[in-house]
Amino acid sequence: MNLYPTLEILDGKCVSLTRGRLDEPMIWHVDPVETARGFAAAGASWMHLTDMNGVRGDGANVDLVTEIIRAVGIPVQLGGGFRSRETVTQWIDKGAGRIVLGTMAVHDPEGVKELAKYHPDQIVVALDIFQGKLMTDGWRNPSAFGPEDFLAAFEGVPLAGVLVTDIDADIEDSDGSLGVISGLAAQTRLPVIARGTVRSVDDVARLRYIPNISGTLIGRALLAKDVDLAEALAVARAAPEPKAEFI
């Protein structure tokens, strides 16, 4: 299982959001570029970066995002309010390893499928789920699509993965059940990346036993030093325990 150490940046600062609110960020007083380099130094093979200014609809972080992509030394999975195919292509050309598309995948699914064909294994579709509904526009608006039907529409498309967030669990900041994410993972052959589920190394270990979970994001727990990245990476990469054979 792949572990994606994660940074969210807003106005040049590392932040965490409470209930997705851009106007109430928790600010971490760390350097974004050096923190990203630290992920690579700890042994991460990927990192995830969300540009919250992109979600908000402005380009204030463009230079910083570009610098992180160039400086970190590992591939960057980039999310943050992508609204056009041209912008996606521009960031791939700038060196982003993958692009995460949520609202755009709802409003223009055929366009996202075309992007995935042109950039196989570089497009990730995000499913943000709240009370059983697929949410768009930074968790603000429910979609007319159900999560299961939406996921089924992308079967057979050469996506790098599907990033699934159970917003209920994220809002409550609880260890909660992985029922929503594991249920969707059981319905698709696409690789599923979990978000909002890791608050301890034990959570990483637990995810390894859920079929079709290819990876998980971990952000706030790293910045709060609740989790040591090197230890979490070792747990994520550990070989499955042998199963007893019965005659």
HSE-up (13 A, CA, CB side) for residue 41: 8
Q: Report the candidate in 5, 40, 18, 55 with the shortest Cα–Cα distance to residue 227.
A: 5
Query: Contact at 8 Å (CB) between 46 and 54?
Result: no
The active-site residue out of 51, 128, 166, 203 is 128
Identify whether 128 is a catalytic site residue: yes
pLDDT tens readout for residues 149-164: 889 999 999 999 999 9
Phi-psi sector, 39: left (phi>0), alpha (psi -120 to 50), beta? alpha
> pLDDT tens across 107-140, in order?
899 999 999 999 999 999 999 887 777 877 666 6
Spell out a b/e string for 217-226, using b for 16 or more CB atoms within 10 Å of the CB, else e.
bbbbbbbeee
Question: Active site includes 114?
Answer: no
CATH architecture of 2-237: Alpha-Beta Barrel (3.20)
Say if residues 26 and 16 touch (Cβ distance below 8 Å).
yes
For residue 108, the tally of other CB atoms under 10 A from its CB is 16
pTM over 0.75: yes
Specify the residue for token string 């949520």: 102
The catalytic position among 8, 51, 166, 170 is 8
Distance CA 52, CA 12 (A): 10
In sequence order, which ranges of 81-153 are alpha helices (DSSP H)? Answer: 85-93, 103-107, 109-118, 147-152
Q: Which positions ≥6 away from 159 have C-beta within 8 Å?
A: 116, 121, 123, 124, 125, 190, 191
For the segment 90-103, the average pLDDT, to the nearest whole number, is 96
Whether residue 46 is predicted with pLDDT greater than 60 in this model: the reply is yes
| 234-243 tens-digit pLDDT | 999 987 565 5
Residues of the chain with pLDDT > 70, as a percent, come to: 88
Locate 247 and state its tokens: 């005659």
